[in-house]
Amino acid sequence: MDIKIRKATENDFPAMFGLIMELAEYEKSPEKVSNSLELMYEQKDYFKCYVAETEEKEIIGMALYYFAYYTWVGKTLYLDDLYVKEAYRGKGLGSRLMDKMFEVAKAEKCKRMRLQVLNWNHPAIKLYKKSGFTVDKTWYNCDIEDL
């Protein structure tokens, strides 16, 4: 199977949103998704994405990211979602998407790459540790929504 990793375009937004919803189901939180396809089009300047595409042009995975600035470190690539459809997991696709993110972070002269992972998502934790990430259990997430 030949899988191509390429930059996403606006034409990919429907498939990407489908993957976002699959991820929300996987993380047992579909009710927390307040994003929409319309909002993705409206806010397209705030994120970037690479997709994994089959020969048949089916999008089966993605790495959605944006750049942030952290006072202690500087420019950071924040990997918001790395997701591969269940049928394609275990074939190295997550590693290929992660490699692409490292390539982008280096090309953009980022000082760090950051992501979050649920404490029960052991396959993802294993991938991230294998990729060289440190999993820090010290910090808490603090969010305010519906502003």
List, by residue number, the catalytic residues: 128
**Cα separation, 46 vs 50, whole angstroms:** 14
Check if the beta carbon of residue 40 is closer than 8 Å to that of residue 21: no
Bridge-partner residues for 49, per DSSP? 64
* Sequential DSSP letters for 69-107: EETTTEEEEEEEEEEE-GGGTTSSHHHHHHHHHHHHHHH
Closest CA to 7 of 83, 77, 74, 62: 62
